Amino acid sequence: MKKIGFIGLGIMGKHMAINLIKAGYDLYVYDINSDAVKYVASTGAKACASIAEVAKECSTIITMLPNSPEVKTVVLGEGGIADNAKPGTLVIDMSSIAPAASQEMERELRSRGMRMIDAPVSGGEPKAADGTLAIMVGGEEADFNEAKPLFDVLGSSAVLIGKIGSGNTCKLTNQIIVALNISALSEGMLLAKKAGVDPNKVFEAIKGGLAGSTVMNAKFPMIINNNFEPGFRIDLHIKDLNNALETAQQVGAPIPLTSTVMQILQSLKVDGEGKSDHSAIAKFYEKIGNIKFSE
């Protein structure tokens, strides 16, 4: 079985790595968190002491990291993938980062005879764990086809959107829609609650109609049960919307609702909710409406 490198064993990355191990891949893993490396190694991965070790061993390397700076350090930094991988190596960056950063890294890797695709995911920890992520890919079709067997293990769908960077553009679009959806759900349920109507009944009545969505089905039970254990943290959604706003400015796209939701997320972060699930957007509405959805 082909050797696969995996760098970044956080909330989602550890599950993705374990699913590849279960599928029979020979996985070489690294993370700055040694406990995460030990945990994944205990399931059958080979623990590596550095990025360089992964890059020297593997001709296909997956990265799953917090943001653009971390990916650029791993890929282009001293002792990173570009300095140590063999020509022909395929880097599959599954992080959610700025499209321009993906394009910059791909250009540098190509100049060294290596390849890169950006393949961010949606679905949070639950779908990372059960291997049903939605994967959005930017890059060359031949590289996508080469990576497809890995995507089939990690997700329920993988779509080639276009050239490098378009996967992350798609992910930013996804993150805008998810954040606005949670905000709309919270705002609507605030109206119901203040009017003396049971939000549970409202949910049952509308979930099968035009307002129904995967987001509503996933997040309303968390909101109504006051359960904000992170599947996807507010801090990470702030990161994604920062990238969306930056990209929008670069391409001249006015996104006023995204700017508003960003202020809600920043307010929640100030209140100490940065590590809470993004369904905690509802807590902003509880605060301004002086209500509790879980009552």
Catalytic machinery residues:
171
> How would DSSP label each residue in 49-103?
SSHHHHHHH-SEEEE--SSHHHHHHHHHSTTSHHHHSPTT-EEEE-S---HHHHH
> What gap in Å lies between CA 131 and CA 19, rounded to an integer?
7
**Torsion angle of alpha carbons 261, 266, 271, 276, nearest 10°?**
70
What's the rounded Cα separation, in Å, for the pair 194 and 216?
20
Measuring CA to CA, how many Å separate 286 from each of 204, 235, 246?
Answer: 21, 20, 30
Instruction: For 104-152, give the secondary structure using H, E and C.
Output: HHHHHHHHCCCEEEECCEECHHHHHHHCCEEEEEECCHHHHHHHHHHHH
Asked if 237 contacts 158 with a C-beta cutoff of 8 angstroms, the reply is no
Return the bridge partners of 61, or none.
5, 91
